[in-house]
Structure 1
Amino acid sequence: MLVDWEGERAFQKTFHAEGLPLVTADRDDLFVPMAALVRVFERAAKATARRDFGLRVGERLQPQSYGLWMQYCAQAPTLGEALRRIGDVLHFHQSGSRSRLVAEGAFVIWRYERSQPNKTHTQHSDHAVPAMLSLIRLYVGAEWAPSWIELDYPRDADAGIVEPLMPGPVRFGQPAVGIAVPIALISKQRPQRIGKRITPLDLEIQDVLPVTDEPLRSIFAISVLRLMDGRTDIDGTAAMAGISVRTLQRHLNREGLSYRSLLERVRLTRARALLEHTDLTITEVALTLGYSEHANFTRAFSRAAGLSPVQFRHHMRWINGNKDPS
């Protein structure tokens, strides 16, 4: 959408300003640290001078736009189970956020909240509303509208631009982005399920990050993103994480890691992406990553992933060939 409104140059400038490779915009399997994602939305809205930028982006997205983890959630037999699954697997997609269900009278509020209440995140919050709504409508119908919507920022001077575009009454200044759903709809079954069944194991195999705890997961994700542009310096990684080099090293030391060993893990993570998203031969992948011998790469990858490079490629192609297109 940024390209549509402002052109390719503005698009590149926005991503480069946050140190993100352009491929981030096209890859639904990449884990992007929440702070960087929020800043991209705010920069894009400023570049386009559109208060409704985030909302319009969300309107373009469907559950499959978010990758395998959301498709797993959308395969749940009932709406309630789909929402519970999101709370269980959201960490595969982003850091610093959580999804939960809160009962309020005759309603259940599905709330999505970040751990950055003091950050400017208006645009990212707006984008979440239609994205959340699209999942709910898979179960309750395309015309359904929520009883009310919650936004986690105070009503600003330009809120009148987006408020009429929201699919229901808006409550500003809430603790999270939320959508109110009548309790009776929580047991609503999805009319149909398309595609072969996706399991949590499939999500774990696709997950490119070998750690789940913060802040190490975000540090690792940043290193993966920067490697795509050929950047491996510790100063740049620390800056993108919003911490000092010394603090970054302290986090790594707690886990028994050096920055060098982190980069080795990142290299194997990059191997997974190349195996899944390119047609490079196993030998070509090994050479791209700096391995002098095909066998050395195969041993290192098998030890880290639990599958040989060939087995991993076959499994991911099976998964990607059976995505839910709804």
Structure 2
Amino acid sequence: MRLRRVVRFLLRDPGVSFGSVDMSASGTIACGPVQQLLVALARSRPESAGINARVGISRATLDDPSGMLPLAAFTSMLEAAAHESGNRTLGIELGRDFKLAALGPISDLMRTAQTVGDALESFSGFFASIQTSTRTTLSVSDGIARLSYAIEDPAIRFREQDAGFSLAIEYSMLAGFLGPAWRASGVEFEHAAGDDLPFYQQHFDCPLRFGRRENALLFQARCLDVPLQQADRNLHARLRADLAEVIQRRATRLDLVRGIEAWIAASLCRSVATDIEVVACDFGMSTRSFQRRLADHGVNYLDIRNRVRSHIAKCMLAETGAPVTSIALQLGYSETSAFSRGFKSQVGETPVEFRKRRRGIDPAAAAAA
């Protein structure tokens, strides 16, 4: 039976992990899926339009079909949208309606696999083509298959919405393979349960566990042997080779400085502390060791933070209608005047002047905005 082969493969190396990367690396995510999600988010919640600018990601960057974004920027968009709407289940709702084709070639790779087990093995093995610094593992024990998911990136401070989004996608993926009557045996989450538990129960319709070491979808292992209708060995082999090449080309990870930039952007988006002591702790270093590492790169933390602030400010001024005072507040300035001075020292013109030049609007209107 096919199931026995899958179990033997996993037992040969119980610690096998597909698509995982060095924990010191900062994660990235493909632009394509992010762009599709932002379109859906803006459609369902118009007030979230332009949220990419709040984490310093321009529309031009999103339009690059082969581009990769900081994973922290993506998770921050989800968290900010959920926080501002007061909807802690937003990630699940977006994942439930997400079109699997938006995942790109990996969706075709799964579709052409021989069985559900092959499809999930491919999903785990080539997940790095979509997202890096993330551990995805398929394992089997006592007749229960377990598809786990965990981000391994110190720059990601907030990840509850990403967990709901990702598990909802995996749930839909399995329902597509096994039919709408399929039900999971259980779902586990890293985060704690909240007042929205009834929605979780309604969507997943199975036992739920919170506060676990990783996110995971559990189901009957016999499902792994179910054959797929569109199986195509030759096409599947070609797709595997193509994705392996994509992953090889993207083997370079964000370096420490870019990871810190992503961490700062995520923190500013949620209006939480960006003190050096906090970032050093999240990156697993003492403050002194952290400063030494930055000195080795020829930079200091305050310069990095100021650069991130000005970059986010430029995105928001150019792509949103947010008032200058609101932008200053999000970026952690106590006064708009301090923001204007800092922006001018970084960019060479005031926020009002920059918005006027980039958007071609009247100076008085720019000042009011």
TM-score (norm. length: structure 2): 0.54
CA distance in 1, matches of 2:159, 2:249: 28
User: 1:17 offset after TM fit, Å?
Assistant: 1.0
Q: Describe the SS at the equivalent of 2:49.
A: helix
Residue 93 of structure 1: aligned partner? 130
CA offsets, 1:223-250, max 9 Å, x none? 9xxxxxxxxxxxxxxxxxx999995795
CA offsets, 1:87-107, max 9 Å, x none? 221111112202102323220
Counterpart of 2:85, as a letter, is T
Residue 294 of structure 1: aligned partner? none
CA distance in 1, matches of 2:229, 2:297: 47
Percent of aligned positions that are identical: 18
The question of whether the paired residues in 2 share the 8 Å contact of 1:110 and 1:180 is answered with yes
Q: Describe the SS at the equivalent of 2:68.
A: coil
Residue 307 of structure 1: aligned partner? none
| Counterparts of residues 82-231 of structure 1 (less than 5 Å) | 82-116=119-153, 119-193=157-231, 197=236, 198-204=238-244, 210-216=249-255, 219=258
User: 1:78 offset after TM fit, Å?
Assistant: 1.1
The question of whether the paired residues in 1 share the 8 Å contact of 2:184 and 2:204 is answered with no
Residue 266 of structure 1: aligned partner? none
CA distance in 1, matches of 2:253, 2:205: 35
Say if 2:80 is the partner of 1:43. Answer: yes
User: 1:72 offset after TM fit, Å?
Assistant: 1.5
CA distance in 2, matches of 1:162, 1:90: 25
Q: Describe the SS at the equivalent of 2:57.
A: coil
Q: Which has the higher contact order (CA 8 A, sep 6+)?
A: 2
Counterpart of 2:206, as a letter, is G
In the superposition, relative to structure 1, how do residues 161 and 199 fare at CA in structure 2: closer, same or farther (>3 Å)?
closer
Residue 60 of structure 1: aligned partner? 97
Residue 106 of structure 2: aligned partner? 69
Gaps of 5+ in 1: 224-241, 253-326
Gaps of 5+ in 2: 1-39, 263-281, 284-289, 299-369
The question of whether the paired residues in 1 share the 8 Å contact of 2:89 and 2:196 is answered with no
CA offsets, 1:22-62, max 9 Å, x none? 36667775423222211111011123222221111101113
CA distance in 1, matches of 2:162, 2:223: 27
The question of whether the paired residues in 2 share the 8 Å contact of 1:58 and 1:130 is answered with yes
CA distance in 2, matches of 1:28, 1:107: 37
Q: Describe the SS at the equivalent of 1:192.
A: coil
Larger Rg: 2
In the superposition, relative to structure 1, how do residues 151 and 37 fare at CA in structure 2: closer, same or farther (>3 Å)?
same
